[in-house]
Amino acid sequence: MKKIVYFLSILSVLSCQDDNGEYIEIDQPLDFIIPANFPEPVQDISYNAPTQKGFELGRKLFYDGRLSRDGTVSCSFCHEQASAFTHHGHDFSHGVDNLEGLRNAPAVQNMAFQGEYFYDGASSSLEMLSIVPIHNPVEMDENLESIVLKLKQDPVYVKLFSQAFANKEVSSGNMLKALGQFMTMMVSANSRYDKYVRNEAGGTLSTQELQGRALFQTNCATCHATDLFTDNKFRNNGLPPNPNLNDLGRETVTGFAYDRYKFKVPSLRNVALTAPYMHDGRFGSLQSVLNFYASGVQNTQNLDPLLQQHPTLGIPLNQQEKEAIIAFLKTLTDEEFVSNPLFYFRT
Amino acid sequence: MKSRLKNIAGLLALSLFINSCSSDDNGSAPADGTSGDVELFFDNGVAGDALMLGNSYTNSNGETLIFERFTYIVSNFVLIKEDGSEFTYPKNESYFIINEETGQFTVHLENVPAGDYKKIKFGIGVDQQRYLQGETAQQSFWDLAFANNMTWTWSTGYRFINCQGTFTVDPAHGGDTTSRGFMIHQGSNTATDNYREVVLNLPTTARVREGEMPNIHLKSDANVILDGDTKIELHHNLNGAGTAASIMAGENLITIANNTKKMFTVDHVHNGAGTHH
């Protein structure tokens, strides 16, 4: 395994005892480990290198409803660990006052390996992206200044911020950094598939799964590329636009007509756990997704050329092949990640 | 002890003498290792007229604009001497907001090495490199920008220029006289880097000395945003319902980025201790 250890400047919390003889906890840099079968991270982790206390603070914030206007909606509300940090069973993300968003909550995993976030790439910074759901009026409907005021009233937070950051401040910047550190460490790379490609114990795939893998490599892996299972690009996969939403996708951010109906290619890690599928959660099962690619692709504006290489649009697949691909996709489930107590803040 | 006091008194007298020389209008060589402050005053205007929020201005596109908001970010200040040597203001402290609504027109730079400066360089907006470094690098600039309506929250970027108001179109230019809102939110996004830098010559040397602060008086022309080298007609950028024009993405932002490279000129420089402009 490639291993990067970031040596942080030694914080003032280094000593175990202060002048009054009281025990002081030590903040320590965390190892950010790049899985052997992963490409290099896209984000520069040294800008916001995770520490033990920063990570713990980020985790507490991730699970705290105070980040929303009325205290009801935390990040974890739409990003549940058991569903690989998606909103299981909900096509759209939910927010305060029981309002409903316009897109399906994407998985929070392997974030440092992505260059752009959200289905339309509205953010390119792991440290800044939390701004979007926090301010969205149909999600958390809050602002950073107001959250900081709430957190300053809580001695537990005051202590955690002072341990996690050199300037000891409860500030919007430190809050975003802590959330960024937590998300940096959320690496999912221990599925049965990973063990198979790394020749580790427990890494066996059945004949059907291997057949599915071969089909996947031929038909899907150009977009769902590398062991991240995404090329991190924006593409139109030919979904008929929902006339009630008219979601323009990537064009919303860039303003370029050639980006219309393009959405970020999602990673397929833990995909068996993240139903419903697509940016608007229109498909309830992987079978429906593959049915769509086999016979539902429509020639909308900017349809990806890769889906126009066959006599019919999309990817020709028979039922036996679809089942094999689904069997393969299920090997991408990382039980360790979705049950790891490190990512679960127990109140 | 006494003799040491005498020495100090002597040094003091000597330094006073040197100081009195340096306030001579003809100037003198700056003392090594000393520093002073620099103030930049941004005087907002529209094609040669003073900008007043609520007043109307007609541009060469046949559109008459009433500005209700004109705010922008200036950053990454560099002072350049005649020999080309540069002083780069510390990046962490080099982001400022000029806001016509709140009357914030000045950029105050501290601890600038004493010297004679001939040019200034600065950026319009927030550079991508800095942005990607996140809040660590920006300190609390996001908070300040949020308070000045200079952040996007549906995406995570800064508005470099926020210019809003209403407009009408001269029928000769294919419009009607209905008043509609306009909203120009200039900035970068994850597809386009629209940060630009400008380098401006100073008509008079800005003399930075300890206790002597030059005041650089700039003029900012809001007209060039739409009516600069490349024209942007608001009535060609109406929303689907035709009720307002909003410019927040796409090719227009690249056009504005290039137009605004001519937004700033240095009108004059005051040297001395005063704060007038």
pLDDT digits (tens, 9 = 90+) for B196-218: 999 999 999 999 999 899 999 99
Q: Are residues A207 and A286 in the same domain?
A: yes
- Which of residues B18 and B259 earns the better pLDDT score? B259
Task: Pull the structure tokens for residue B75.
Answer: 């950053």
Q: What is the rounded average pLDDT of the residues B116-145?
A: 86
Q: What is the pLDDT of residue A2?
A: 42
Overall domain count for chain A: 2
Q: What is the rounded average pLDDT of the residues B254-276?
A: 89
- Which of residues A276 and A99 earns the better pLDDT score? A276
pLDDT digits (tens, 9 = 90+) for A252-298: 999 999 999 999 999 999 999 999 999 999 999 999 999 999 999 99
The tally of CA atoms less than 13 A away on the side-chain side of residue A225 is: 10
Q: Residues of A with CB below 8 A from B151's CB?
A: 131
Q: Which residue of B has its CA nearest to A46?
A: B133
Query: Cβ–Cβ of B132/A253 closer than 8 Å?
Result: no
pLDDT band at B5 (very low <50, low <70, confident <90, very high): very low
Q: What is the pLDDT of residue A96?
A: 87
Q: What is the pLDDT of residue A297?
A: 97
User: Does the CB of B241 have a partner CB in chain A at under 8 Å?
Assistant: no
Q: Are residues A109 and A182 in the same domain?
A: yes
User: Does the CB of B135 have a partner CB in chain A at under 8 Å?
Assistant: yes
Q: Are residues A20 and A42 in the same domain?
A: yes
Q: Are residues A308 and A199 in the same domain?
A: yes
Q: Are residues A13 and A132 in the same domain?
A: yes
Q: Are residues A222 and A138 in the same domain?
A: no
Contact B46, B221 (CB under 8 A): yes
Which secondary structure element, helix H or strand E, spans residue A106, and what is its range? none
User: Does the CB of B146 have a partner CB in chain A at under 8 Å?
Assistant: yes
Q: What is the pLDDT of residue A43?
A: 94
What is the domain extent for residue A126? 2-188+337-343
pLDDT digits (tens, 9 = 90+) for B77-91: 999 999 999 999 998
Q: Are residues A242 and A320 in the same domain?
A: yes
Query: Cβ–Cβ of A255/B250 closer than 8 Å?
Result: yes
Task: Give the CATH number of the domain where residue A196 resides.
Answer: 1.10.760.10
Q: What is the pLDDT of residue B27?
A: 57
Q: Are residues A90 and A236 in the same domain?
A: no
- Which of residues A56 and A1 earns the better pLDDT score? A56
Q: How far apart are CA B237 and CA B249, in angstroms?
A: 11
Q: What is the rounded average pLDDT of the residues A238-244?
A: 93
Q: What's the ipTM?
A: 0.82
Min Cα–Cα distance to chain B from A277, Å? 22
Q: Are residues A150 and A40 in the same domain?
A: yes
Q: What is the pLDDT of residue B18?
A: 40
Q: What is the pLDDT of residue B177?
A: 79
- Which of residues A41 and B131 earns the better pLDDT score? A41
Q: How far apart are CA A62 and CA A252, in angstroms?
A: 27
Which secondary structure element, helix H or strand E, spans residue A56, and what is its range? helix A52-62
- Which of residues B157 and A179 earns the better pLDDT score? A179
Helix axes A155-164, A52-62, angle to 10 degrees: 140
Mean pLDDT of chain A: 91
User: Does the CB of B186 have a partner CB in chain A at under 8 Å?
Assistant: no
Min Cα–Cα distance to chain B from A176, Å? 7
Q: Are residues A151 and A93 in the same domain?
A: yes
Q: Looking at the partner chain, which of A121, A171, A255 has a beta carbon nearest the beta carbon of B249?
A: A255
pLDDT digits (tens, 9 = 90+) for A165-177: 999 999 999 999 9
Contact A119, A263 (CB under 8 A): yes
Q: What is the pLDDT of residue B105?
A: 98
Is the model's pLDDT at A58 over the cut of 70?
A: yes
- Residue count of chain B, please give it: 277
pLDDT band at A7 (very low <50, low <70, confident <90, very high): very low
Q: Are residues A172 and A196 in the same domain?
A: no
Q: How far apart are CA A301 and CA A319, in angstroms?
A: 29
Q: Are residues A173 and A245 in the same domain?
A: no
The full DSSP string for B192-238 is: ----EEEEEEEEEEEEEBTTB--EEEEEEETTHHHHSSSB--GGGSB
